[in-house]
Amino acid sequence: MTSAATARSLVAKHGAGEGHAVTRSTFGPITLSRTTRHAWLLIVGVALAAPAWTAADQEAHQAAITFDDFPGGEALACQVAICRRIANALKAQGIPAVAFVNEGQLYRKGEVDSRIGILRDWLDAGLELGNHTFSHVGIDSVSLPQYEEDVIRGETVTRMLMAEKGRPLRYFRHTQLRTGPTTEYREGLGTFLRNRGYTVAPVTVDTQDYMFAAVYADAKHRGDVALQGRVLDEYRAYVQENFSFHERLAVEVLGREVRHVVLLHVNHLNADLIDELLATLKKRNYSFMSLEEALQDPAYARPEPTTRKGWSWIQRWILAEGGEARPEPREPPWVTDAVGALTARRRSDR
């Protein structure tokens, strides 16, 4: 698939309404537009070197890393390289990770064995695989039995590969982090997953990496180095802002930090930046653990609300107590527009 097709499929998968369609964020008592906030950060950064609201950044944090939509929809050679770079970086640093598979992505004419090979490479690096449904099915568009069928269809190869390593297939990640449009659906699916031996993999630090990645991949394929650089700079700033936001939100809701579960995707952007990303998190005082260890945090036993949106679990804990979800940092408007333009261009090409 071309990079633009990837952009299209990513946008189609994740949609604009995944629960983050807010361009304003609240930092303590101050609510600022993104532009104003960036200007503010610059001013305070210059004046004080350490803006007051980054005090929490210095605390010790813990996180498990996860990747969704594995093995990804790029052209085979690209996808092999992307997944290897990410797996090698994690392995070299001894950082565990779970990649959630859409087995539907394995079935490309003449490429099935090679794409299954990407999954094997991941396991050979000592990393783990989970189920993310066969076709990345949208929970709002199918009945519970249909969704369950897509879960079952999505575990065939993954379960076999895990068994070859003597390991059980144990984690499930909902597509778009949507757990079911009604309480009946959500609880029914929860029971089904438990009975099938799955533990649901929640997310506390959700990212819009796929939006940046769509623009980045297109620029990379077109050899537009300037645009790649621009996306990288924006993504770096976004990563810092997004981690700050979720760290502070956890403290606000729980009175303490949580063992975070970070959601990323396997794409050119994260492959090119993986070492820097991990270094950034280490500089933020992160230590890494397996998903199993992270989920031992008692916060994950807190009640979950029924919501149609793919919120971070921290936001769900707020909703469950009758509160309102907070506006999350998201990609700058020009990235949203660029992804929109890519999507439109692909549509007219068809």
291 CB contacts (<8 Å, ≥6 apart)? 64, 66, 96, 98, 128, 171, 201, 261
In whole angstroms, the minimum distance from the beta carbon of 193 to Zn ion comes to 16
Whole-angstrom CA distances from 271 to 87, 155, 256, 330, 339 are 9, 25, 32, 21, 20
Whole-angstrom CA distances from 254 to 142, 170, 299 are 34, 27, 8
Residue 123 or residue 266: which is nearer to Zn ion going by CB? 266
Residue nearest to Zn ion (CB): 68
- How far apart are the C-alpha atoms of 90 and 44, rounded to whole Å? 35
- How far apart are the C-alpha atoms of 286 and 259, rounded to whole Å? 10
In whole angstroms, the minimum distance from the beta carbon of 317 to Zn ion comes to 22
Tokens (6 digits) for 112:
């099935």
Residue 175 or residue 244: which is nearer to Zn ion going by CB? 175
In whole angstroms, the minimum distance from the beta carbon of 130 to Zn ion comes to 11
Whole-angstrom CA distances from 45 to 2, 137, 330, 346 are 40, 44, 21, 41
In whole angstroms, the minimum distance from the beta carbon of 13 to Zn ion comes to 6
- Three-class DSSP category at 33: strand
Residue 176 or residue 307: which is nearer to Zn ion going by CB? 176
- Three-class DSSP category at 47: helix
| Residues within window 51-90 making contact with Zn ion, judged by CB under 5 A | 68-69
Residue 69 or residue 328: which is nearer to Zn ion going by CB? 69
- Establish if 18 lies at the interface with Zn ion (CB under 5 A): no
In whole angstroms, the minimum distance from the beta carbon of 176 to Zn ion comes to 6
How many residues at the interface with Zn ion, by CB under 5 A?
2
Chain-centroid distance, C-alpha 79: 17
In whole angstroms, the minimum distance from the beta carbon of 102 to Zn ion comes to 7
Under DSSP, the state recorded for 205 is B
Residue 8 or residue 284: which is nearer to Zn ion going by CB? 8
280 CB contacts (<8 Å, ≥6 apart)? 236, 239, 240
Residue 25 or residue 175: which is nearer to Zn ion going by CB? 175
Tokens (6 digits) for 241:
């802002």
Interface characters, 183-222, with Zn ion (x: CB under 5 A) = ----------------------------------------
In whole angstroms, the minimum distance from the beta carbon of 28 to Zn ion comes to 32
Residue 18 or residue 297: which is nearer to Zn ion going by CB? 18
- Interface residues with Zn ion (CB under 5 A) are 68-69
